[in-house]
């Protein structure tokens, strides 16, 4: 069979080996060392040493539809995804209106079929309107295609509500994705609590605002048997809690973001708002937390991509920032 597509001289994403890949009918026919075979194909892509990998999956994005298309759309967000090598994304429900029922899950599927450039997996809200007061119709959303449930952008402050959510979601096999932040400890803080915040005169957020909630929900996962996924963790203590939970065999997973293991609160410097992030960031090297919790399932990396409308002229482009409780 003459291959429909030949990718020449690509670099294998795992081994670094230079390879040729032959594809026909959506199936990989062969992977051979670069230049080993001289056959032709209908279409040829000269990779020139570029890395070739399976499609990436971002488990935490904000496509901002329905209702916030000035910030992002399914079309623009998925176009950006494929440009970066992502072939599937999971989109959060903190939109306006909130994606908290089966109709909105179906709407997202329809919009993706019409405008999407990659697969979009909707995440439904845990509570109606993400208000933390009444559970949303998770069973119906799961049947409509929701892959998980989350009140992302807001923590589920009530332990009772979190327990019931885990019990309700358990039969669906879907996880509860947690934005872990104790609002009573966060208060009006803006950055990691420590010497830098004190020097700058900025109210701080203690790491305990995150770690207390992570410990709580690990305990609730043990109590209920429900699946928990922790979003955008930033503190060493949080990873220690996840590591301990996974050591017990609990259905717990986690993700972090590149800026948490590349930067510390020193990056704020002299009031540099470009380094401002919602989660408390350690004053010590965060890379100490970036170790596999168990083998072979390390924490998931997430870009936690959020787009916000810029002020200024109508030609301004969206810029990237971290999510806030109101986003």
Mean pLDDT, the chain, whole residue set: 85
Least confident range from 2-11, 205-214, 231-240: namely: 2-11
Nearest to 175 by CA among 208, 207, 152, 209: 152
pTM comes to 0.81
Q: The tokens of 303 are what?
A: 């870009």
Nearest to 214 by CA among 240, 191, 189, 192: 240
For a pLDDT cut of 90, what percent of the chain falls above it?
68
Q: What is the pLDDT of residue 192?
A: 87
| Helix and strand numbers, DSSP H then E, in the chain | 8, 17
Q: What is the pLDDT of residue 270?
A: 83
Task: Classify residue 269 as left (phi > 0), alpha (psi -120 to 50) or beta.
Answer: left
Q: What is the pLDDT of residue 302?
A: 55
Nearest to 89 by CA among 105, 78, 76: 78
For residues 18 and 13, what is the distance between their CA atoms, to the nearest angstrom? Answer: 10
Nearest to 161 by CA among 196, 135, 198: 135
**Residues in a beta bridge with 205:** 192
**Residues in a beta bridge with 89:** 58, 120
Work out the average pLDDT over 268-279.
76
Q: What is the pLDDT of residue 6?
A: 92
Does 234 have pLDDT greater than 80? yes
For residues 33 and 21, what is the distance between their CA atoms, to the nearest angstrom? Answer: 9
Helix (H, G, I), strand (E, B) or coil at 173: coil
pLDDT tier for residue 279 given thresholds of 50, 70 and 90 = low
Architecture of domain 55-320: Alpha-Beta Barrel (3.20)
Positive/negative CA dihedral, 253, 259, 262, 267: negative
Domain ranges of the chain: 5-51, 55-320
- Of the chain, the end-to-end C-alpha distance in Å amounts to 52
For residues 208 and 183, what is the distance between their CA atoms, to the nearest angstrom? Answer: 11
pLDDT tier for residue 282 given thresholds of 50, 70 and 90 = low
Give per-residue burial for 252-271: e unless 16+ CB within 10 Å, then b: bbbbbbebbbebbbebbeee
pLDDT tens digit string along 182-215? 999 999 998 889 898 899 999 999 999 999 999 9
Q: What is the pLDDT of residue 41?
A: 82
Work out the average pLDDT over 130-142.
97
Long-range contacts of 303-310 (CB under 8 A, 24+ apart): 303/58, 303/60, 303/61, 303/257, 303/258, 304/60, 304/231, 304/232, 304/255, 304/257, 305/58, 305/60, 305/61, 305/62, 305/77, 306/62, 307/62, 307/64, 307/71, 307/72, 307/77, 308/71, 309/70, 309/71
Q: What is the pLDDT of residue 70?
A: 95
What are the φ/ψ torsions at residue 219 (nearest 5 degrees)?
Answer: -65, -40
* Cα-based torsion angle of the residue sequence 147, 148, 154, 160 in order, rounded to the nearest 10 degrees: 160
């Amino acid at each position: 069979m003459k291959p429909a597509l030949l990718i020449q001289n690509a670099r294998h994403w795992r081994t670094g080996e230079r390879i040729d890949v032959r594809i026909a009918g959506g199936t990989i026919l062969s992977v051979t060392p670069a230049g080993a075979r001289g056959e032709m194909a209908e279409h040829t892509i000269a990779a020139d040493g570029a890395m070739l990998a399976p499609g990436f999956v971002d488990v935490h994005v904000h496509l901002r539809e329905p209702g916030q298309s000035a910030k992002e759309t399914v079309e623009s967000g998925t176009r950006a995804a494929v440009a970066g090598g992502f072939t599937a994304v999971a989109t959060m429900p903190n939109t306006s209106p909130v994606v908290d029922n089966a109709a909105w899950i179906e709407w997202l599927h329809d919009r993706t079929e019409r405008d999407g450039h990659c697969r979009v997996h909707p995440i439904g809200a845990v509570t109606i309107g993400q208000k933390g007061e009444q559970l949303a119709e998770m069973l119906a959303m799961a049947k409509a295609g929701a892959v998980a449930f989350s009140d992302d952008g807001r923590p589920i402050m009530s332990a009772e509500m979190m327990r019931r959510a885990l019990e309700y979601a358990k039969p669906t096999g879907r996880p509860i994705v947690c934005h872990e932040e104790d609002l009573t400890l966060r208060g009006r803080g803006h950055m990691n609590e420590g010497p830098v915040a004190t020097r700058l005169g900025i109210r701080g957020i203690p790491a305990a605002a995150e770690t207390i909630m992570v410990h709580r929900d690990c305990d609730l996962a043990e109590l209920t048997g429900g699946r928990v996924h922790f979003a955008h963790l930033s503190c060493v203590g949080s990873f220690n809690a996840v590591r301990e939970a996974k050591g017990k065999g609990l259905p717990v997973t986690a993700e972090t973001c590149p800026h948490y293991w590349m930067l510390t609160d020193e990056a704020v410097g002299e009031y540099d708002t470009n380094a401002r992030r919602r989660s408390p960031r350690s004053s010590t090297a965060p890379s100490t937390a970036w170790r596999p919790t168990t083998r072979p399932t390390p924490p998931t990396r997430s870009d936690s991509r959020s787009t916000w409308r810029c002020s200024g002229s109508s030609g301004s482009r969206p810029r990237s920032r971290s999510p806030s409780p109101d986003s």
